[in-house]
Amino acid sequence: MRKNRFSLVLFIFGLLTIAAAQAQKPTSQTIIPASNPNIAYVGRVSFTNPESPCFTYPGVQIRACFEGTSIAMRVKPNSGYFMVEIDNREPFKVASLENDSVVQLADNLDDILHQITITLAYEGYQRRPEFRGFLLDAGKTIPQLPLLPKRKIEFIGNSITCGYGIEVTDPNAPFKDETENHYYTYAAATARALNAQSLVVARSGIGIYRNYNGPKTGNKDCMPAMYTQTLFTDTTEVWDFSRYTPDVVCVNLGTNDVSTQPYDTGLLEKGYRNFLKTLRGYYPKAKIVLLSGCMLKGKPLEDVQTALNRVAREANDAGDSQVYRFDLTPADGSLGYGASWHPSKAQQYKGADELVPFLRSITGWEY
């Protein structure tokens, strides 16, 4: 009996010793800093701190090729929501909330070279997300820059371009960061269909001269006033336009300007005319497309279309043949709505299905 008890004690002691050894065994990983030259950034990113770059506009992308079976990203806690694509797998969403400085993105992958694209899904001007690098398997690295598409598009817009409320199907639902997702917008879908890089400058509620429910005379913080900022609402860093030269610029503004009464069509037209001049100054060779969005109908839609038609025609008559007009089909509810009566995912994809062939027609971009 005593012999059996002694054997049991030895057995338990052995198990505890093994467990303790395993607990003390270091789990080494390779830290890839955000400043690694083989990480590609697409969009407006502030490198004031190169080890923790900051970005606020939806659609900003981080791309890399990595070795090994797993990958995690290091971020500032509460950096919010991201879409992740690895190789040809289905995209998925991850979140960095209050205590999340490391977000696991994948494990149990084949031990080969992989490609990853991380996209900011929401408007980050309040949380101000920061990326601080990757964690890989021990001894693994990111050996080369990812191959980026040569084509480049810039999308300038409002909540439609941001993807406001796109992940819910209740039009009475309120806005939440977690239900906004730029990845499913007409803009992101258009860029993917055309195999183009995409830089996004968009903010919910913003207008060309008047923000949502603003005074008839307009707002000082409308898009033209904020456009040069690297980080939205941050006046301390002006964007370096030499960092990204688009082939095409799509401007989808005007919805908020006319969504509530009263508004001034003269100021709306003037705002677009001046902003077009600004864009042409930064991008002398780009094709600029003035879009009307899918949330308007009736007289407000007519007023926006009239203003856009006049501004485009004036530019064409003055010798600028690279200014175009395009109207997205207004939502009629048949494809559902997102939060606050914003376009559903199906409506957004319909917009991409309309816009893609138009952009092909003016650029000559083949498949």
Q: Report how far apart, in Å, the C-alpha atoms of 290 and of each of 63, 76, 84, 195, 275 are.
A: 30, 37, 30, 21, 11
Looking at residue 315, which CATH number applies to its domain? 3.40.50.1110
What is the pTM for the complete model shown? Answer: 0.92
Q: Report how far apart, in Å, the C-alpha atoms of 257 and of each of 19, 108, 277, 331 are.
A: 65, 50, 19, 18
User: In the chain, how many domains are there?
Assistant: 2
323-327: strand order across its sheet: 196-202, 151-157, 248-252, 287-292, 323-327
Q: What is the predicted pLDDT for the residue at 25? A: 37
Residues 181, 276 within the same domain: yes
Q: Six-digit token pair at 4? A: 């059996």
Residues 97, 216 within the same domain: no
| Structural domain range at position 113 | 29-137
Residues 266, 317 within the same domain: yes
Using CB atoms within 10 A of its CB, is residue 237 exposed (0-12), middle (13-18) or buried (19+)?
middle
Q: What is the predicted pLDDT for the residue at 367? A: 80
**Within-domain flag for 4:** no
Give the model confidence (pLDDT) of 329-344 as tens digits.
Answer: 999 999 999 999 999 9
Give the model confidence (pLDDT) of 99-148 as tens digits.
Answer: 999 999 999 999 999 999 999 999 999 999 999 999 999 999 999 999 99
Residues 156, 82 within the same domain: no
**Within-domain flag for 15:** no
Residues 84, 166 within the same domain: no
Residues of the chain with pLDDT under 50: 1-26
In the chain, what percentage of residues exceed pLDDT 90? 92
Domain end residue (candidates: 137, 159, 180)? 137
Q: What is the predicted pLDDT for the residue at 7? A: 45
Task: Return the closest-CA partner of residue 120 out of 90, 149, 80, 176.
Answer: 80
- The residue whose two tokens read 């309120």 is 174
Helix (H, G, I), strand (E, B) or coil at 10: helix
Residues 268, 314 within the same domain: yes
